[in-house]
Amino acid sequence: MHVLLIEDDDRVAEPLAEGLRRFGFTVEHARTGAEGLAATEPAMVLLDLGLPDMDGIDVCRALRARSAVPIIMITARDSEVDRVLGLELGADDYVSKPFGVRELVARIRAVTRRARTVSPDGGGSGTEAAGGSRADGCGAQRIGPLSIDRRTRQVRVHEIPIALAPKEFDLLVCLAEDPGAVCSRQQILDTVWEPDYFGPTKTLDVHIAALRRKLGDPSWIENIRGIGFRLAPPHGSAVRPEPWHGVR
């Protein structure tokens, strides 16, 4: 995902951008409101309210006037008025400094899911979300014969329930965020375990092997040598993989 970070303080922006890249995001950094407004439209905007050339609230207003791009405000301001005003102007969420990268990533994913579950006609109850993802009537993600219900943490293959351990389920969800795309080993460890996990990477291989076995076909999860893994229906499936844009 292409993220535009509008933040004038390099001491905040540089470690934040590096942290987001570890989670697989592409980060473009703008140091002023004008620079941010001139940037190519991204998939997500992270907007600091305290900018040197213009108020972040004005940047939010200008962005929303021309685009529906999701916006998360980043603020050190204590005033509830500023946060409420930003939300009323169309920002989707806000985080208060200081915050952790994992919290921000969780908010980015939540905002993205909310944005993409709204159908083009403004409704959110259809079976196909904006962007082409597929969900059944209960909100479960479908990838070929595989069904993943994040809300109930239930998984089915060909409608047969599959019992997964908690980490196996989290691993499957991580790979299913963008089926067919490669997730690096580090990205998976950061997401499913912790960013500061220093245990043996063999742990990941053990969980991959267990998940393949339970899905009933090892070709569900492809090993991309030297990079990581990707999830896709086994050869012969009639349904191509699609990214998940539903709700947890």
Note the pLDDT tens digit of each residue in 45-66. Answer: 999 988 999 999 999 999 988 8
56 touches 73 (CB < 8 A):
yes
Distance between CA atoms of residues 31 and 48, nearest Å: 10
List of the chain residues with pLDDT < 70:
77-80, 114-139, 194-201, 235-248
* Predicted structure pTM score: 0.51
Sign of the alpha-carbon dihedral angle for 95, 100, 101, 105:
negative
Among 112, 97, 79, residue whose Cα is nearest residue 7: 97
Give 203: exposed, middle or buried? Use CB within 10 Å, 0-12, 13-18, 19+. Answer: middle
Give the CA radius of gyration of the chain.
19
Q: At 11, which amino acid appears?
A: R
Residue ranges with strand state E in 14-132? 26-30, 44-48, 71-75, 93-96
Beta bridge partners of residue 154, listed in sequence order: 149
List C-alpha distances in Å: 228 to 30, 192, 202, 208: 31, 14, 13, 11
49: nearest Cα among 95, 90, 106, 3: 95
Q: Helices then strands (H, E): number in the chain? A: 8, 12
pLDDT of residue 197: 57
Order of strands, sheet of 221-224, starting from the edge strand that comes earlier in the sequence:
183-184, 228-231, 221-224
Q: Return the H-helix or E-strand segment holding 112.
A: helix 101-116
- Whole-angstrom Cα distance, residue 95 to residue 211? 35
The pLDDT tens digits of the residues spanning 122-166 come to 444 333 433 233 554 456 889 989 999 888 889 999 999 999 888
CA distance 182 to 178: 8
Amino acid 29: pLDDT: 96
Q: Are 24 and 105 in contact (CB under 8 A)?
A: no
Side chain identity, residue 210 = A
